[in-house]
Amino acid sequence: MERARISTLARLRKDIDRLEGGSFDGGAGAALHRVPLGHVEADAVLQGGLLRGAVHETFAQGPQAAAATGFVAALVGRLAPRRPVMWVRQDFSARENGGLSMSGWCEFGLDPRFVVGVRARDAEAALQATADALACDALGAVVMEIWGETRHVDLVASRKLTLAARGSGVTGLLLRIAAAPVPSSAETRWMVRAARSPPRPAWQARNAQVWDAQVWGAPVFDAQLVRNRHGRTGHWIMEWNCDECRFRDAASLGAPAHPQPVAAAPADRPHSARTVAPDVAPGAASWRRTG
């Protein structure tokens, strides 16, 4: 009987969602399921933010594992603040890239109390645990960290994860290190590298035994959105603000120009960020990419 009441409650909630237009493919209510990252241009391209209840992939080369980890951790911080998070990782990844440190998680501006770590033996076990976790709507986000190429994570597996995420509303974040992208049903795909952090004057540093005038500042990512199901792609330098727990545009801080080239907007698809203000209904954007 208690069970029946809970399911009634869930059904009523879903009804309210539907009445408010909570269908996932666009529509006015889609904004409810999108979480703004804080980076103005990226949010504009993502039509308001990163979609909840979908799967997002992050790829990085081997040496850039920590930067990709930081980017995914930041997405977790945006998508699921104060919600339980399950971080599923493959044993080999921890040996190769170092284990996720909760002291670092804390310093990153996130709350370690909500993190449950799963130490899967191999990619297959990790995938199974992730699929289970994505079906549990009590979680805020599920991260699957896999090192290297594996035949287990293919289009079929990715489709399963997407369906599970859509059913429960939990966001799945795939962290693939030292792997090449394969076809998948993910909502977005990011390629992440570390970027040079904004300088701080040395007198701000706490324990400085510093000779030149600069020490380093907040984490900065060179994030390339290479695939977006419902919009255009882009390439930005994003700075993570650990105190406010949101991204911001690294260039807007008056930092010097970055050494990495930033891709220009393609000529055939004009840059919408300059014309569409971020708080305009995101459904207004008319183009769409599929595949």
Partner 1 sequence: MLHQVPHHGGAPGNAHFAEAALSDDSPCIVVAKDHNALVVSALNDAAARLGLDVGTALATARAVCPDIAVFDADPAADAAALDAIADWCGRFTPLVALDPPHGLLLDISGCAHLFGGEASMLETICRALHRQGFVVGAGIAGTAVCARALTRGCPGRIVPEGGEAAAVAALPLFTLGADDDITRGLRRAGLKTIGDVAARGRHEIAARFGADFVALLAQALGQRDAPISPRRPPPDFMVEKRFADPVATDSVIAATLSRLAQTLIVVMTRHGKGARRLDAGFFRTDGAVRIITVETGLPVTRVEIVDRLFRERLDALADPLDPGFGFDLVRLAASRTDNVTEAQRDLDTHIRDSDEVSALIDRIAARIGGERIVVHLPQDTHIPERAVLALPAQHHLAAAATVAWPARAEGEPPLRPLRLFAPPEPVEVLADFPHGPPAAFRWRRGFHRIARVEGPERIAMEWWRPERPASPEPVDDEFVRAHPPQGEVTVERIDPAGLTRDYFRAEDSEGMRFWLYREGIHGREVATFRWFLHGVFA
Which residues, listed in sequence order, are joined to residue 120 by a DSSP beta bridge? 90
Pick 136 or 280: Cβ nearer partner 1: 136
Q: Is 160 in the site for partner 1 (CB under 8 A)?
A: no
**Pick from 182, 218, 245, 255: which binds partner 1 (CB under 8 A)?**
218
Q: Which amino acid is at 37?
A: L
Q: How far is the CB of 40 from partner 1 (least distance, A)?
A: 21
The region of 159-167, 179-187, 220-228, 262-270 touching partner 1 under the rule CB under 8 A is 220-228
- Our finding on whether 229 is near partner 1 (CB under 8 A) is no
Distance CA 84, CA 140 (A): 6
User: Which of the residues 16 through 55 are near partner 1 (CB under 8 A)?
Assistant: none
* Minimal distance, residue 209 CB to partner 1, in Å: 6
Residue in 41, 57, 187, 222 binding partner 1, rule: CB under 8 A: 222
Helix axes 123-134, 155-168, angle to 10 degrees: 20
Please identify, using beta-carbon distances, which residue of 94 and 265 lies nearer to partner 1.
94
Tokens coding 124: 């297959």
Binding residues for partner 1, how many (CB under 8 A)?
A: 75
> Regarding beta strands 34-35 and 50-51, do their DSSP bridges make them parallel or antiparallel, or are they unpaired?
antiparallel
Pairing mode, if any, of strands 50-51 and 234-241?
unpaired
Q: Is 201 in the site for partner 1 (CB under 8 A)?
A: no
Selected from 32, 81, 128, 255, the binder of partner 1 by CB under 8 A is: 128
Closest CA to 144 of 119, 173, 124, 115: 173
Considering the rule CB under 8 A, would residue 116 count as an interface residue with partner 1? yes
Which of 30, 44, 55, 133 is the binder for partner 1 (CB under 8 A)?
Answer: 133
Q: Which stretch binds partner 1 (CB under 8 A): 27-35, 37-45, 238-246, 269-277?
A: 238-246
**Alpha-carbon span 75 to 138, nearest angstrom:** 18
Name residues contacting partner 1, limited to 172-191 (CB under 8 A): none
Q: Please report, to the nearest 10 degrees, the dihedral formed by the alpha carbons of residues 29, 289, 48, 188 taken in order.
A: 110
**Enclosing H/E stretch for 19:** helix 2-19
Structure tokens at 53: 């209840």
Q: Which residues contact 232 (CB under 8 A, 6 or more apart)?
A: 45, 269, 272, 287, 289
- Nearer residue to partner 1 within complex by CB, 30 or 88: 88
Residues 71-90 that bind partner 1 (CB under 8 A): 71, 73-74, 84, 86
Asked if 245 is part of the footprint of partner 1 (rule: CB under 8 A), the reply reads no
CA distance 99 to 15: 42
Q: Is 167 in the site for partner 1 (CB under 8 A)?
A: no
- Which of 114/190 has CB closer to partner 1? 114
- Contacts (CB under 8 A) with partner 1, residues 269-288: none
Does 219 contact partner 1 by CB under 8 A? yes
As a whole number of angstroms, the distance between CA 97 and CA 179 comes to: 14
CB 245 within 8 A of CB 110: yes
Residue 8 CB, shortest distance to partner 1, in Å, is 10
Is residue 63 part of the contact set for partner 1 (CB under 8 A)? yes
Q: Which residue has the tokens 């976790």?
A: 133
**Tokens 């930081």 sit at which residue?**
70
